[in-house]
């Protein structure tokens, strides 16, 4: 049974506990996620990535490195972490495949977790839907490029679809993110150095 164990040293961050069979119960979920998000992986590759991901997750749980918050069920914490781990393991595995049809990982680290966070607050979900509606309605190329990035398209596919080079895809993505950050009042990280 997946549950929380109270940690007196960090009272607001309980440790997630789970038995190996509890972790293994997510095998089907991990396989379906990998089939949907990594079509370049064959059946044997999906099995290998699933096994590696579950092993990494189990090791983290066993070492007490997985923490949650009491407002989120511990199984949601496990599932979200498994998505992140599976994405990274699949990316490393796909990079190791020396095949012509291997695809790039989509732009940006934020795509490490494509599935919606089941623990997100309703107002966060509503805001995300509003932003996605804005993206879908926009006719500007940077916004259309960013929408394809959010949908998981590779930079190469986007460049081919618009007839532009990769550098332009990255510039369009950065432009759209800057515009959205300005529109919705979210500060963006800047590379400018303080002098």
Q: Using CA atoms, how far apart are residues 40 and 50, in angstroms rounded to an integer?
A: 15
Q: Using CA atoms, how far apart are residues 116 and 125, in angstroms rounded to an integer?
A: 9
Q: Using CA atoms, how far apart are residues 77 and 187, in angstroms rounded to an integer?
A: 27
Give the architecture-level CATH label for domain 3-102: Orthogonal Bundle (1.10)
Q: Using CA atoms, how far apart are residues 35 and 1, in angstroms rounded to an integer?
A: 27
**What tokens does 19 get?**
């038995």
> Structure pTM?
0.50
For the chain, the maximum distance between any two Cα atoms, rounded to a whole number of angstroms, is: 57
Domain 122-183 has CATH 3.30.460.10: no
Read off the pLDDT of residues 82-136 as tens digits, 9 standing for 90 and up.
998 998 888 877 766 544 444 454 444 444 444 445 545 666 667 777 777 777 7
Read off the pLDDT of residues 135-164 as tens digits, 9 standing for 90 and up.
777 788 888 888 888 777 888 888 888 889
Q: Where are the domains of the chain?
A: 3-102, 122-183
């Amino acid at each position: 049974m997946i549950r929380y164990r109270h940690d007196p040293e960090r009272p607001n961050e309980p440790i997630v506990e789970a038995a190996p069979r509890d972790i293994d119960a997510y095998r089907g979920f991990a396989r379906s996620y990998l089939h949907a998000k990594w079509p370049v992986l064959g059946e044997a590759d999906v099995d290998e990535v699933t096994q590696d991901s579950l092993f990494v997750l189990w090791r983290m749980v066993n070492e007490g490195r997985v923490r949650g918050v009491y407002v989120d069920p511990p199984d949601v914490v496990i599932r979200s972490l498994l998505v992140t781990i599976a994405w990274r393991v699949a990316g490393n595995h796909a990079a190791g495949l020396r095949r012509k049809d291997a695809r790039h990982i989509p732009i940006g680290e934020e795509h490490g977790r494509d599935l919606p966070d089941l623990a997100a607050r309703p107002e966060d979900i509503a805001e995300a839907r509003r932003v996605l509606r804005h993206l879908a309605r926009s006719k500007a190329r940077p916004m259309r490029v960013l929408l394809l990035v959010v949908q998981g398209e590779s930079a190469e596919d986007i460049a081919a679809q618009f007839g532009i080079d990769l550098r332009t895809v990255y510039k369009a993505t950065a432009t759209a993110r800057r515009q959205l950050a300005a529109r919705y009042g979210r500060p963006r990280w800047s590379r400018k150095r303080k002098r």
